[in-house]
Amino acid sequence: MRLALYQPDIPQNTGTLMRLCACMGVAMDIIEPCGFILSDKNLKRAGMDYLDSLDLTRHADFGALRRAQAGRRIVLLTTKSQQSFLDFAFAPDDILLLGRESAGVPDDVHTACDAPITIPMAAGLRSLNVAISGAMALSEALRQTAQFPQAGS
């Protein structure tokens, strides 16, 4: 299982997701360019001292991620899907892709993904914070695939 961020805008959200991945033993991919300097102090504050435990790969663009992770399914979290993440069957080697906080992913990336999923929400509301969305979907994916880390390990 991997979590990928497409051109993240907000260092605090990225740092929070980096910490989540480190704590869950999940590798992270960042598709550049970022809307901030990746070594930003806010990123380090949100990630705390957990970032040393993170398996992080940076990619110049979406195509570089596709090439590096060839054969893996890319599951896109998007508001443009009717498929609930709760009804989706995750696979152990899926890549969960989160879009930019300000704009999601462009249409060509959306089309190139293997499975678009969404988090059901109350009517009339647009979207959740990207870090919250990532945590919800990753939690369900790890639960389904029995990949949660063992307590204390």
65 occurs within a structural domain: yes
What pLDDT score does 115 carry? 98
Looking at residue 152, what is its pLDDT?
66
| 102-111 tens-digit pLDDT | 899 999 999 9
Predicted confidence (pLDDT) per residue in 94-103, tens digit: 999 999 998 9
In-domain check, residue 91: yes
| Contact criterion met (CB below 8 Å) for 95 and 117 | no
User: Does residue 153 fall inside a structural domain?
Assistant: no
Can you give the residue range of the structural domain that contains 55?
A: 2-144
CATH of the domain at 108: 3.40.1280.10
Residue 114, domain member (yes or no):
yes
Is residue 105 in a domain? yes
Q: Domain tally for the chain?
A: 1
Write the CB contacts of 64 (distance below 8 Å, at least 6 apart in sequence): 31
Report the chain's terminal Cα–Cα distance, integer Å: 18
- The answer to whether residue 150 sits within a structural domain is no
Establish if 84 belongs to a structural domain: yes
In a domain, 149, yes or no: no
Secondary structure, 3-state, the chain:
CEEEEECCCCHHHHHHHHHHHHHHCCEEEEECCCCCCCCCHHHHHHHHHHHHHCCEEEECCHHHHHHHCCCCCEEEECCCCCCECCCCCCCCCCEEEECECCCECCHHHHHHCCEEEECCCCCCCCCCCHHHHHHHHHHHHHHHCCCCCCCCC
Answer whether residue 69 shows pLDDT above 70. Answer: yes
